[in-house]
């Protein structure tokens, strides 16, 4: 009897020890899982590849937040990569990177209506004084540079000013780099004349272009009557005092600007005077009629 009682006591104690050990092990396992969740790095997961039905809303929100942070870091990575590619000790800054991005945006919409609107607005607006000053005719044309200069915008915080500077640099650079062969000029005009006639209304043409184009057409017709005009302009340029005496001093002085004469000098040198005259005369005739 005593032997059986002893066996029962040992059996009960064994069960107690087993349950106690199981509880301790379970508690340690739960603590381990909590430590893993708190301290172990989360493996990147694409939320689009996750079956949301297998996760709680809280877990899905955590994954979504992780993806947003990842995208932000990728954005910074892209900026740093572009900074390295475009790095120059003289103009390295976020604002100059931003200026380059405006140029890329213009290039991506090249020859569209918004493109021409931006270019024409910039061409007839001077911002050198810090304020927008509307220009017309020769005042705008006199701003066309002979060489390209890159403006450092470091320190400028107004993105609108940066965009205006960038747009002005863009068309100046393109004017200088333009392939001015007769074939290319004719091709550009044929491809874009519809845009020109669309955004250049009669009133806008009269205000901005009429005087310049009228003078250019008239002067070409006048000097082209001189049998030796190409030889003259081949021999002399605007730096020579005799340049402003052809075809006569009186005729040259009858114009407010001598720029139209040097304009045709450059066209003769580039051998594109014929197509340029045809285009200008076409524009003049279009608005006069």
Per-residue pLDDT tens digits for 217-251:
999 999 999 999 999 999 999 889 999 999 999 99
Share of the chain above pLDDT 90, in %: 48
- Rounded to two decimals, what is the model's pTM? 0.65
Per-residue pLDDT tens digits for 97-108:
788 889 999 999
Mean pLDDT rounded to a whole number for the chain: 81
Rounded mean pLDDT, 64-76:
69
Question: Cα-Cα-Cα-Cα dihedral of 276, 280, 282, 286, to 10°?
Answer: 160
> Per DSSP, what are the bridge partners of residue 134?
125
Neighbours of 153 (CB within 10 A): 21
- CA 33 to chain centroid, in Å, comes to 52
Q: At residue 49, what are phi and psi to the nearest 5 degrees?
A: -95, 0
- Under the banding of pLDDT at 50, 70 and 90, the label for residue 116 is confident
Query: Contact 137/113 with Cβ under 8 angstroms?
Result: no
How many Å apart are CA 180 and CA 157, to the nearest integer? 37
């Amino acid at each position: 009897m005593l032997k059986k009682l002893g066996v029962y006591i040992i059996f009960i104690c064994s069960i107690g020890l087993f349950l106690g050990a199981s509880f301790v092990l379970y508690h340690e396992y739960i603590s381990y899982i909590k430590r893993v969740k708190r301290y172990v790095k989360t493996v990147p997961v694409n939320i689009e590849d996750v079956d949301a039905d297998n996760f709680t809303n809280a877990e899905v929100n955590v994954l979504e937040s992780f993806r947003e942070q990842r995208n932000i870091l990728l954005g910074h990575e892209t900026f740093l990569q572009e900074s390295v590619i475009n790095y120059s000790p003289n103009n390295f800054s976020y604002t100059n990177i931003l200026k380059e991005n405006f140029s890329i945006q213009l290039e991506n919409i090249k020859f569209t209506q918004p493109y021409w609107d931006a270019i024409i607005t910039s061409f007839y607006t001077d911002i050198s004084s810090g304020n927008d000053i509307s220009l017309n005719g020769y005042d705008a044309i006199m701003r066309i540079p002979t060489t390209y200069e890159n403006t450092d915008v470091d320190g400028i915080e107004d993105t609108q000013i940066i965009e205006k500077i960038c747009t002005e640099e863009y068309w100046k650079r393109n004017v200088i780099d333009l392939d001015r062969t007769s074939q290319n000029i004719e091709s550009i005009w044929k491809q874009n004349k519809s845009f020109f006639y669309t955004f250049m209304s009669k009133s806008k043409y009269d205000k901005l272009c009429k005087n310049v184009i009228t003078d250019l057409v008239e002067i070409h017709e006048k000097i082209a009557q001189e049998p030796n005009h190409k030889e003259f302009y081949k021999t002399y340029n605007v730096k020579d005092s005799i340049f402003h005496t052809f075809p006569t001093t009186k005729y040259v002085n009858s114009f407010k600007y001598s720029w139209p004469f040097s304009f045709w000098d450059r066209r003769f040198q580039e051998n594109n005077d014929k197509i340029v005259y045809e285009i200008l005369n076409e524009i003049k005739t279009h608005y006069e009629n």
